[in-house]
């Protein structure tokens, strides 16, 4: 090797040694910076990857960096702060994660809940349980206001639903295809679902047994579960007994159309000023489910919107017509608010048999994966069997404690398939709670109806204040 070649080789070696030294220095700088960041992150919130129940990685919000806890006082402080949280409101949220606006279809059995809305003064409510699940699964991106939360219906205490719909921002696994970089808190639009979080599966794993998510759908940002709803449909279950079902159906047909329903609701003069609502469908159907010859029936009512307790008030008056203590014409009289400006005092129908059946929207198609659908079916089948066992216990009590006249045999309800699960659960609960009585009729006396001897005609009863009188009273307090 010539002298010139040796000098060139020496220069190459020197440059390589210099680059190696620079890399070593850079590694030391990065290690020092990394240690500093770890120290900072241990004192604040950041996202990490959690292992879900199925072993798949899901990115989560609001997870503090894991570090050994050596201070018992700090643990007590954390527990105290956690106990003071209001689910769904005091969420510690990372805002730099992708999110998308979605609608969720929800079913729930309302017996143990104080209504759907979390604004109720009592717990639990369906909404509070849903927000607990959202917090636990780290799907929330903020409180109700920040997540643009809306609900379709606000069902009361004891009322169930198989088609309730809510809408809000949820965390997303997707990234916008046209994004130049991973922008913090980017909004996912469009209808893409491949690679997205299985919201149904994730939420149903942590929700209580009497609440389930049936499906989800991506929706536009201008979607409102309340105001975008085209129609709502309610179902009310009842035992037919000797009720005059044709008269009830003929009377119910009078509800169809746009009417002032102030005599068929609980009036809220402070917040509601228009009591006109449109009913588009009314029908009474019967099933093949029977008990002691008593057939299970259902009233179906569909309309664009409903007033507070409207369906239960309508059903209560229909029961009076079915029992023969009121005429069909009483519906016309109560809908004529000029002749009947004040609502007669009468009790509403019980809340347990009422179900929010469905909420209708335009171009909203709910998604449920095959795995989530199978898990949901298994869960509902198990719930159905559990309620049937409870019904069997009450059936045994009926046979042993309340023998029938003339040695008549009581036939037990047949097996209830999953397709009619929602049709029977509310009735089974009501059957147990009401001690085999419902709406003024006895199920133990060969299906006959016991008419109330002291029945006072509706139009002869004491009345509630009119809307105008309520408004005047409110104004006098201001």
Choice among 29-38, 152-161, 170-179, 207-216 with the minimum mean pLDDT: 170-179
**Over 50: is that where the pLDDT of 59 sits?**
no
- The CA distance from 132 to 90, in Å, is 11
Backbone torsions φ then ψ of 313, nearest 5 degrees: -70, -40
Fold of the domain built from segment(s) 231-478: Alpha-Beta Plaits (3.30.70)
Does residue 156 have an active-site annotation?
yes
By DSSP bridging, strand 276-291 and strand 294-303 are antiparallel
- Sign of torsion over alpha carbons 211, 212, 213, 215: negative
Greater confidence, 443 or 122?
122
Look up tokens 């770890």; give the residue.
38
**Over 60: is that where the pLDDT of 407 sits?**
no
Task: Give 351's DSSP letter.
Answer: S
Give residue-wise pLDDT tens across range 34-51.
888 877 777 665 444 444
How high is the pLDDT of residue 39? Answer: 76
Report the residue count for the chain: 478
- Give the residue from 96, 87, 66 showing the smallest Cα distance to 171: 96
Task: Give 457's DSSP letter.
Answer: P
**Over 60: is that where the pLDDT of 219 sits?**
yes
Categorize the per-residue pLDDT at 194 as very low, low, confident or very high, splitting at 50, 70 and 90.
confident
- Give the residue from 194, 195, 192, 216 showing the smallest Cα distance to 204: 216
Choice among 317-321, 376-380, 448-452 with the minimum mean pLDDT: 448-452
Where helices occur in 197-257 by DSSP H, the ranges are: 199-204, 245-253
What is 122-153 written as a DSSP string?
SS--HHHHHHHHHHHTT-B-SSTTTTT-EES-
Task: Give 152's DSSP letter.
Answer: S
**Over 50: is that where the pLDDT of 265 sits?**
yes
Residue 385 in tokens? 């069997």
CB contact at 8 A, 158 and 352: yes
Reported as half-sphere exposure (CB side, CA atoms, 13 A), residue 61 has a value of 24
Q: How many CB atoms lie within 10 A of CB 1?
A: 7
Q: Of 123, 156, 198, 210, which is the active-site residue?
A: 156
Residue 90 in tokens? 């005091």
How high is the pLDDT of residue 44? Answer: 61
Residue 72 in tokens? 């018992």
Give residue-wise pLDDT tens across range 132-142.
999 999 998 88
- What CA dihedral angle connects 217, 222, 223 and 225, to 10 degrees? 130
- The CA distance from 335 to 342, in Å, is 11
How high is the pLDDT of residue 40? Answer: 74
End-to-end CA distance of the chain: 106
Choice among 62-76, 299-313, 380-394 with the minimum mean pLDDT: 62-76
Q: What are the angstrom distances between the C-alpha of 347 and each of 259, 313, 316?
A: 21, 8, 7
- The CA distance from 107 to 126, in Å, is 10
All residues at 6 or more sequence positions from 75 whose CB lies less than 8 Å from its CB, including other chains = 69
How high is the pLDDT of residue 229? Answer: 96
Give residue-wise pLDDT tens across range 68-85.
434 444 544 444 444 444
- Mean pLDDT of the residues in the chain: 80
CATH number, span 98-218: 3.30.70.580
How high is the pLDDT of residue 138? Answer: 93
CB contact at 8 A, 187 and 204: no
Categorize the per-residue pLDDT at 432 as very low, low, confident or very high, splitting at 50, 70 and 90.
very low
**Over 70: is that where the pLDDT of 97 sits?**
yes
Categorize the per-residue pLDDT at 6 as very low, low, confident or very high, splitting at 50, 70 and 90.
low
Greater confidence, 188 or 124?
124
- The CA distance from 242 to 449, in Å, is 6
By DSSP bridging, strand 187-188 and strand 99-108 are parallel
Q: What are the angstrom distances between the C-alpha of 59 and each of 65, 104, 146, 311?
A: 14, 20, 20, 44
**Over 90: is that where the pLDDT of 262 sits?**
yes
- The CA distance from 225 to 207, in Å, is 21
Distance between alpha carbon 172 and the CA centroid of its chain, in Å? 21
Look up tokens 């940002």; give the residue.
221
Mean pLDDT over residues 286-291, rounded?
A: 80
How high is the pLDDT of residue 96? Answer: 62
What pTM, to 2 d.p., does this model score? 0.71
**Over 80: is that where the pLDDT of 267 sits?**
yes
How high is the pLDDT of residue 447? Answer: 36
Mean pLDDT over residues 192-220, rounded?
A: 94
Domain residue spans of the chain: 98-218, 231-478
Mean pLDDT over residues 448-468, rounded?
A: 80
How high is the pLDDT of residue 18? Answer: 72
Mean pLDDT over residues 6-17, rounded?
A: 69
Q: Is there a common fold for 98-218 and 231-478?
A: yes
- The CA distance from 215 to 353, in Å, is 24
CB contact at 8 A, 429 and 352: yes
């Amino acid at each position: 090797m010539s002298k010139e070649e040796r000098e060139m080789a020496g220069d190459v070696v020197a440059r390589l040694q210099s680059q190696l030294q620079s890399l070593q220095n850079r590694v030391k700088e990065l290690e020092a910076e990394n240690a500093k960041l770890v120290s900072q992150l241990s004192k604040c919130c950041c996202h990490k990857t959690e292992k879900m129940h199925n072993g798949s990685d899901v990115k989560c919000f609001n997870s503090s960096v894991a570090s050994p806890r050596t201070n018992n006082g700090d643990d007590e402080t954390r527990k105290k702060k956690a106990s003071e949280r209001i689910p769904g409101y005091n969420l510690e949220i990372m805002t730099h994660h992708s999110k998308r606006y979605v609608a969720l279809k929800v079913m729930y059995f309302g017996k143990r809940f104080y209504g759907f809305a979390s604004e109720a003064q009592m717990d639990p409510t369906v909404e509070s349980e849903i927000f607990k699940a959202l917090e636990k699964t780290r799907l929330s991106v903020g409180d109700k206001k920040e997540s643009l939360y809306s609900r379709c219906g606000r069902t009361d205490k004891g009322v169930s639903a198989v088609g309730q719909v809510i809408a809000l921002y949820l965390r997303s696994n997707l990234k916008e295809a046209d994004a130049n970089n991973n922008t913090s808190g980017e909004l996912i639009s469009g209808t893409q679902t491949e690679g997205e979080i299985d919201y149904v599966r994730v939420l149903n794993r942590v929700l209580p047994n009497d609440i389930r998510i049936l499906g989800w759908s991506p929706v536009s940002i201008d979607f409102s579960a309340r105001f975008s709803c085209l129609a709502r449909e309610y179902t009310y279950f009842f035992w037919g007994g000797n009720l005059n079902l044709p008269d009830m159906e003929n009377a119910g047909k009078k509800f169809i159309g746009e009417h002032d329903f102030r005599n068929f609701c609980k009036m809220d003069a402070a917040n509601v000023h228009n009591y006109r609502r449109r009913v588009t469908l009314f029908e009474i159907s019967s099933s093949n489910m029977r008990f002691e010859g008593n057939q299970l029936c259902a009233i179906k009512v569909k309309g664009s919107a409903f007033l507070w307790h409207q369906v239960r008030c309508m059903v209560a008056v229909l029961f009076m017509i079915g029992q023969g203590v009121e005429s069909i014409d009483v519906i016309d009289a109560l809908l004529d608010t000029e002749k009947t400006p004040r609502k007669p005092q009468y009790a509403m129908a019980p809340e347990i048999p009422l179900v929010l059946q469905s909420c209708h929207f335009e171009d909203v198609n709910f998604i449920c994966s095959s795995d989530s659908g199978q898990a949901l079916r298994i869960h509902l089948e198990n719930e159905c069997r559990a309620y049937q066992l409870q019904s069997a216990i009450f059936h045994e009590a009926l046979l042993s404690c309340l023998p029938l006249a003339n040695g008549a045999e009581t036939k037990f309800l047949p097996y209830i398939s999953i397709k009619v699960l929602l049709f029977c659960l509310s009735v089974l609960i009501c059957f147990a709670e009401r001690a085999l009585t419902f709406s003024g009729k006895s199920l133990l006396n060969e299906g006959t109806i016991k008419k109330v001897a002291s029945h006072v005609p509706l139009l002869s009863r004491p009345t509630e204040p009119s809307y105008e009188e309520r408004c005047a009273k409110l104004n006098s307090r201001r």
